[in-house]
Structure 1
């Protein structure tokens, strides 16, 4: 199979779909790998390293979109890229379609076979291709939030860990999954006063057992959530409904009851955000203020630590890419129902139920496509 990896063009996105090591693995398994010149520069990987790995270096993205059977990316294709996609081509990347009707419409129109990293499942219902980026984003959320809390960045002027004689900052983490757990780890490590909210008693038991007295837990109902948010200096939105739009948990009205200069970090922004006042931002302009509350809503947080993120991502995406290249995507999905959960769009049909319901498309089960 001919597999192509273009440069990412989203604002301040430095990751790349294939590392030189991953490209080499595909090559030694008999596949042709085309890399856009300069695609790896954000992680410090040169064109020469890709050449040494057996890749063909091409100028610009057009040859990749025109001639490669599978396109491997990191972020969702931008409008200019979607116009280049075609029927019969495999797109393998993060998509986050539920809150993005324009992207969904373009993918449907293109006829492409679009496989989303974020909906591929694993044993026990985990999302293994999303997990490493959730780990990165969770940890980064505390770094970003701590910076936004500084007075020069519009925040309250609160140090998360405090100092002797001065109380630490109050950090509220909404959601105890992968993002929330990693955010809580970082906040606890900084010495913050950390509270984790979740609706799943098993999750609360797990995080409560892990953190013991270093962090508190509370069941997430409307009353408890509002009470915690009113007290918070920093709130991390870490909720996820796989493939669907995130629920809006903090209303515009509640902002008026928060401490002026408090910070909201919405890690769910890829899925539309979990705060009513959330809107996607970029690393170039990461924050904005609504009713004296600082919002950090960068939609590609892990892109800021591109090398760490790219290698962590390739560790989990490469095995599926190898199987699809070897067996074809249909046969790979017949053999692996977890990979089949990643199919979101195929030849004009929406094949992921949450996306179809959210955006008003007819739903076609993947089982019918691969039968």
Structure 2
């Protein structure tokens, strides 16, 4: 199979969909790898690394899309990229379709088979291709939140860990999954007073058992949420409903109860965000203010640490990519229900129910998709 990796063109996105090690693995399995020139430079991988791995460097993205049978990326295809997709081609990348009707429409019209990293599952009920970036984003969230809190950026001017005689910042993390756990650990490590809110009692028990007094936990009822948000210097949104739009857990009315200059970090922004006032931003202009509250809503947070993120993502996606290339997408998905869970679009049909519900579109089952 011809596997193509174009350079990412989303603003301030420095990751790359294919590492040289992944390219070498694909070549060793008998596949041809096409990489757009300079695609890996932002992650510290020059073209020579890919050439040594056996890949072919091609001059333009148009060449990659025109020749490749499978496109491997990081971020969802941008409008100009979607025009290059064609019927019968496989697209393997993050999609986040639920809050993105335009992308969904274009993918359906293209006839492409689109498999989304964020909905591939594992036997433990986890999301193995989302987890590495969730870990990165979770660890970054307190770091960027601390920067947002600085007075020069419009924040309260509060130091996360405080100093002797001055108390630490209060950080509230909504969601105790992968993102929330890593965010809480880092914020606590920076000296903040941290509380994690979650609706799963088993998860709260797990966090208490594993992390003890490192941070506190509370049940995420509407009343607790409102109380904790009002007291917080920083609120980190870390709620995920796989493949679906993120629930809005903090309303604009609740912003009025928050301390002036408090910071919101919405890690769920890829799925539409879990704050009513959230809108996607970029690393170039990451923060904005609403009602005196500073919002950090960068939609590709892990892109800020591109090398770490690219290697972590490549480690996770490589086995699935090789399976798709070795067997073809239909056989690979038929033999692996967890990979099948990643199928979102095929031959003009939507195949992921949560996306259909979010966008009001009809869906077909993945079993039906295999027959098309």
TM-score (norm 2): 0.99
Aligned to 2:174: 174
Give the Cα separation in 2 of the matches to 1:304 and 1:49. Answer: 22
- Secondary structure of 2:155's aligned partner: coil
Aligned to 2:125: 125
- Secondary structure of 1:367's aligned partner: helix
Give the Cα separation in 2 of the matches to 1:185 and 1:311. Answer: 22
CA contact (8 A) 2:185 2:214 kept: no
Give the Cα separation in 1 of the matches to 2:171 and 2:25. Answer: 43
- Secondary structure of 1:179's aligned partner: helix
- Secondary structure of 1:304's aligned partner: helix
- Secondary structure of 2:206's aligned partner: helix
Aligned to 1:36: 36
**C-alpha displacement at 1:357, in angstroms?**
1.2
Aligned to 2:203: 203
Give the Cα separation in 1 of the matches to 2:274 and 2:362. Answer: 26
Farther off after superposition, 162-171 or 361-370: 361-370
Give the Cα separation in 1 of the matches to 2:201 and 2:38. Answer: 47
**C-alpha displacement at 1:215, in angstroms?**
1.1
Give the Cα separation in 2 of the matches to 1:273 and 1:2. Answer: 36
Aligned to 2:253: 253
Aligned to 2:339: 339
- Secondary structure of 2:76's aligned partner: coil
**C-alpha displacement at 1:211, in angstroms?**
2.1
Give the Cα separation in 2 of the matches to 1:132 and 1:241. Answer: 17
Give the Cα separation in 1 of the matches to 2:324 and 2:211. Answer: 40
2:309 is the counterpart of 1:309: yes
In the TM superposition, what are the counterparts of 1:63-82 in structure 2 within 5 Å? 63-82=63-82
2:361 is the counterpart of 1:365: no
Give the Cα separation in 2 of the matches to 1:191 and 1:209. Answer: 20
- Secondary structure of 2:17's aligned partner: coil
Unmatched runs of 5 consecutive residues or more in structure 1: none
**C-alpha displacement at 1:235, in angstroms?**
0.3
Aligned to 1:107: 107
**C-alpha displacement at 1:214, in angstroms?**
2.2
In the TM superposition, what are the counterparts of 1:230-269 in structure 2 within 5 Å? 230-269=230-269
Give the Cα separation in 2 of the matches to 1:298 and 1:39. Answer: 22
- Secondary structure of 2:334's aligned partner: helix
Give the Cα separation in 2 of the matches to 1:116 and 1:49. Answer: 27
Give the Cα separation in 2 of the matches to 1:210 and 1:175. Answer: 16
Give the Cα separation in 1 of the matches to 2:107 and 2:22. Answer: 26
Aligned to 2:221: 221
Give the Cα separation in 2 of the matches to 1:220 and 1:210. Answer: 19
- Secondary structure of 1:345's aligned partner: strand
- Secondary structure of 1:124's aligned partner: coil
CA contact (8 A) 2:185 2:215 kept: no
Give the Cα separation in 1 of the matches to 2:359 and 2:229. Answer: 31
Unmatched runs of 5 consecutive residues or more in structure 2: none
**C-alpha displacement at 1:29, in angstroms?**
0.7
2:168 is the counterpart of 1:159: no
2:283 is the counterpart of 1:283: yes
Aligned to 2:143: 143
In the TM superposition, what are the counterparts of 1:48-67 in structure 2 within 5 Å? 48-67=48-67
Aligned to 2:21: 21
Runs of 4+ in structure 1 displaced over 6 angstroms? none
